[in-house]
Amino acid sequence: MVDPAEWLLTRSERANPATQLDDLHDGDEAWSQGNHVQPLIHGATYFQALHDALEGTRAGDIVFFTDWQGDADEQLTGTSGSEVVEVLSRADQRGVTVRGLVWRSHLDKTGFFATENRHLGEQLQRRGAVVLLDMRVRAGGSHHQKFVVIRHRDDPSRDVAFVGGIDLAHNRRDDAEHRGDPQAQPLTKEYGAHPPWHDVQVAIQGPAVHDVETVFRERWNDPAPLSRSPWRRVADRLRGLHSAPDHLPDQWPPPQHAGSHTVQLLRTYPSLPFGRDYPFAKGGERSVARGYRKAAGRAQRIVYVEDQYFWGHDVARAFEGQLRAQSELRLIVVIPLVPDLAGLNRVPQLLGRHRAIGRLMKAAPGRVAAYGVENHAGVPVYVHAKVCVIDDIWASTGSDNLSRRSWTHDSELAAVVLDEDYARELRLTLGAEHLDRLDKVADHGLEAAMSDCVDAAGMFEAYAAHAAALDDWHAGGKRGTRPPGRLRRLPLPQLTARERQWAALPLDAVQDPDGRPPALRGTDRY
């Protein structure tokens, strides 16, 4: 049995006395027990589960959701009538209380999607749901949380919260074949017309559903204006958009125990300047960073990461000391083969990778490896997952990337599961896809199909061997049968001294900024 206090943050270690998140937990505990958590790997899997859960709601039930990017016409099941706006609207028309917080987004001209997010809010509001376009963020920041809470008035055993990295948006409805979402949104040219997309969400049942709901309620009830921009407030008024949150129904008690999983929610909220503060996170909350540092400090065998970025010295420091101290500890990192920016804008991202991966490879030669993923057509798969498994005990899935931005600057939410069976199965299931063993899993079971990867050293070696074989096949002109597996070795970015010098400013100021209070910047404290 694992003592949760050894791996998870206590209430005092969360260091946010303003939040109500832990009010129902015993003593100094900042987690709930008796949950059941199911990983939903790939957008198609999540969207089907979300569709079914939403369609199963009835009058008196509650649906709360947050989104970083939302497309009203994104189909949850690939069929007409399953569009996000249609499914949520039908729930509202049945008498379900539907409330949403959608990040307002920066302007379209800056490469974001303010128009699509606004259209999602407008269309839902025209049909009766209350959706706020939320820009209560630090300058240059975003509300990056992606979760849905569904509470059932007459049957709390069906209550569920979906937490992870998957937006209700184009590109996300992909599956294990990674041919991409039919409703595509362009990335860079390397990803083609329908970018393959790898992502993970989790479905939580049990008392932790109440915790996720509390995260929504704290944000909803923030009395600050939704936007500090006068012209945006005027435009919203002219469009008839909601300019302030309405009153939410009283919060129901937590659902009863649904399983054996211990769940902790970790969050990031920035420190806001000019005397402003989130009432639920005065001075910000950085429990994502604190949670990673505590768990990484106990790692002895393996840290397995799938992430969109894995950037910077801050991330490297979280793992560096333990890699030096534990001679058997191995780190596997799976990130996109190709960053999602092109041209010179790509160089700061490569610098961020170099700062983290290069530093860790130097700290633990031969025990740190980085990979990208391609589909069977040779098209890079965009790894958007935010998953970390440590020693098959601690497993995090959330909206947070391993970067200083996610640890300090944007709003984030991660769900950590403390359970040995869950963590091991998640790691092996992700590995089975990347090694092309899903058919073997279906025929023989996960443990048998992945027997050589149960041990940390075995997985490290299997990934290296499969990636080397596929790299050699490409280098040899693709002659003969394509080797099994989808992993490609990710070489350390080779940047000139001049590139490292000029790219540091856009990386540190724009792409990976620091949202901590001034007294903490430049330190390794969170």
Confidence band (pLDDT; 50, 70, 90) for 110?
A: very low
Look at residue 158 in the predicted model and tell me its pLDDT: 98
Say whether pLDDT at 109 is over 60. no
Q: Which range (101-110, 263-272, 381-390) has the least confidence?
A: 101-110
Look at residue 127 in the predicted model and tell me its pLDDT: 85
Confidence band (pLDDT; 50, 70, 90) for 44?
A: very high
Residues listed for the chain: 526
Look at residue 150 in the predicted model and tell me its pLDDT: 99
Confidence band (pLDDT; 50, 70, 90) for 122?
A: confident
Model confidence pLDDT, tens digit, residues 3-18: 999 999 999 999 999 9
Largest CA distance in the chain: 65
Look at residue 106 in the predicted model and tell me its pLDDT: 53
Say whether pLDDT at 113 is over 60. no
Look at residue 107 in the predicted model and tell me its pLDDT: 52
Separation CA 362–CA 247 (nearest Å) = 54
Q: Share the mean pLDDT of the chain.
A: 95
Provide the residue type at 440 as one letter.
K
Look at residue 244 in the predicted model and tell me its pLDDT: 83
Q: Which range (123-127, 221-225, 521-525) has the least confidence?
A: 123-127
More confident residue, 239 or 437: 437
pTM of the model: 0.96
The encoded tokens of residue 4 equal 């949760």
In percent, the amount of the chain with pLDDT more than 90 equals: 89
3-state secondary structure at position 437? coil
Query: Cβ contacts of residue 258 below 8 Å, gap of 6+?
Result: 34, 35, 36, 157, 205, 206
Separation CA 33–CA 237 (nearest Å) = 45
Model confidence pLDDT, tens digit, residues 146-156: 999 999 999 99
Model confidence pLDDT, tens digit, residues 159-193: 999 999 999 999 999 999 999 999 999 999 999 99
Separation CA 141–CA 509 (nearest Å) = 11
Instruction: Taking residues 82-107, report their average pLDDT.
Output: 91
Look at residue 115 in the predicted model and tell me its pLDDT: 65
Instruction: Taking residues 442-454, report their average pLDDT.
Output: 98
Look at residue 108 in the predicted model and tell me its pLDDT: 46
Instruction: Taking residues 228-241, report their average pLDDT.
Output: 74
Q: Where are the domains of the chain?
A: 35-254, 285-517
Say whether pLDDT at 308 is over 80. yes
Sequential DSSP letters for 212-264: HHHHHHHHHT--S-S-S-HHHHHHHHHHT---S--PPPPPPPPPPP-SSEEEE
For the domain spanning 35-254, the CATH number is 3.30.870.10
Yes or no: domain 285-517 corresponds to CATH 2.40.30.20: no
Look at residue 234 in the predicted model and tell me its pLDDT: 76
Sequential DSSP letters for 367-399: SEEEEEEB-TTSPBPEE---EEEETTTEEEEES
β-strands 62-67, 412-418: how paired? unpaired
Give the count of beta carbons closer than 10 Å to the beta carbon of residue 107. Answer: 10
Look at residue 43 in the predicted model and tell me its pLDDT: 98
Say whether pLDDT at 400 is over 60. yes
More confident residue, 227 or 135: 135
Separation CA 375–CA 487 (nearest Å) = 9
Query: Helix 84-93 and helix 43-55: axis angle, to 10°?
Result: 20
Model confidence pLDDT, tens digit, residues 340-396: 999 999 999 999 999 999 999 999 999 999 999 999 999 999 999 999 999 999 999
